[in-house]
């Protein structure tokens, strides 16, 4: 794995294209994405205003809920733009959020994963979605050769968050 270039979040037309799936969710068409994408409803850490972001689900895990919530499925998402992504910083500030996945809206708590956990998550993701696992690092300005060692190194660099059901 090597750093190819410094890349920031998209701007202009690229930003508009990345945010297009939000429109689908607003039109009630989020089910078109199945369980591969989710719509995150969070709160801006500076403005306190509601914000939304569409994120890829990199892992679904059975797990217990928090705050006495019934055990349910947890979702793991990655901050493809690194730890400076606005939605990621917002979750660190206010971890109780909601997600919309397919046609369900669920209250969840965001729990950041350690680098060790991120490494394991990304290796499992790479096994299931090899092509996408090679593209994500490129979006972040890295080059990977497709080896497990490179995927492990990327997993340690990418901030991952587990979204755990809450009551």
pTM of the model: 0.88
User: How confident is the model over 87-106, as a mean pLDDT?
Assistant: 96
pLDDT of residue 107: 96
Question: For residue 18, is pLDDT > 70?
Answer: yes
In the predicted structure, residue 70 carries a pLDDT above the cut 60: no
pLDDT (average), residues 116-130? 95
**87's tokens:** 């939605």
Q: How far apart are CA 59 and CA 129, in angstroms?
A: 11
SS3 143: strand
* Predicted local confidence at residue 62, as pLDDT: 85
Q: Which pLDDT belongs to residue 66?
A: 60
> What are the percentages of helix, strand and coil residues in the chain, rounded to 5?
35, 35, 30
- Asked if residues 114 and 155 have their Cβ atoms less than 8 Å apart, the reply is no
Residue 2 has which token pair?
């090597």
| Nearby residues of 17 by Cβ (< 8 Å), 6 or more positions away | 10
110 beta partners: 163
Q: What is the pLDDT of residue 6?
A: 72
Q: Please, which pLDDT band fits residue 64 given cuts at 50, 70 and 90?
A: low
Token representation of residue 58:
């990199």
Instruction: Quote the CA–CA distance of 26 and 71 in Å, as a whole number.
Output: 28
**Structure tokens given for 65:** 């809920």
Distance CA 155, CA 136 (A): 11
Question: Over pLDDT 90: what percentage of the chain?
Answer: 64
For residue 7, what are the domain limits? 2-165
Domain total of the chain: 1
CATH label of the domain that carries residue 62? 2.30.110.10
Select from 90, 146, 85, 154 the least CA-distant residue to 118: 154
């Amino acid at each position: 794995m090597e750093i190819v270039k410094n890349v920031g979040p998209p701007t202009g037309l690229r930003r508009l294209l990345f945010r297009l799936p939000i429109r689908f969710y607003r039109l009630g068409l989020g089910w078109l994405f199945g369980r591969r994408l989710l719509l995150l409803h969070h709160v801006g850490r500076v403005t306190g205003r509601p914000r939304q972001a569409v994120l890829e689900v990199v892992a679904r895990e059975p797990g217990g809920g928090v705050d006495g919530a019934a055990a349910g499925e947890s979702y793991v998402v990655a901050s493809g733009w690194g730890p400076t992504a606005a939605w990621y910083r917002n979750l660190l500030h206010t971890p109780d959020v909601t997600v919309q996945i397919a046609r369900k809206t669920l209250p969840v708590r965001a729990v950041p994963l350690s680098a060790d956990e991120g490494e394991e998550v990304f290796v499992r993701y790479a096994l299931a979605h090899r092509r996408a696992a090679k593209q994500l690092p490129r979006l972040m300005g890295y080059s990977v050769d497709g080896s497990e060692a490179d995927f492990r190194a990327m997993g340690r660099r990418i901030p991952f968050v587990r979204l755990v059901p809450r009551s």
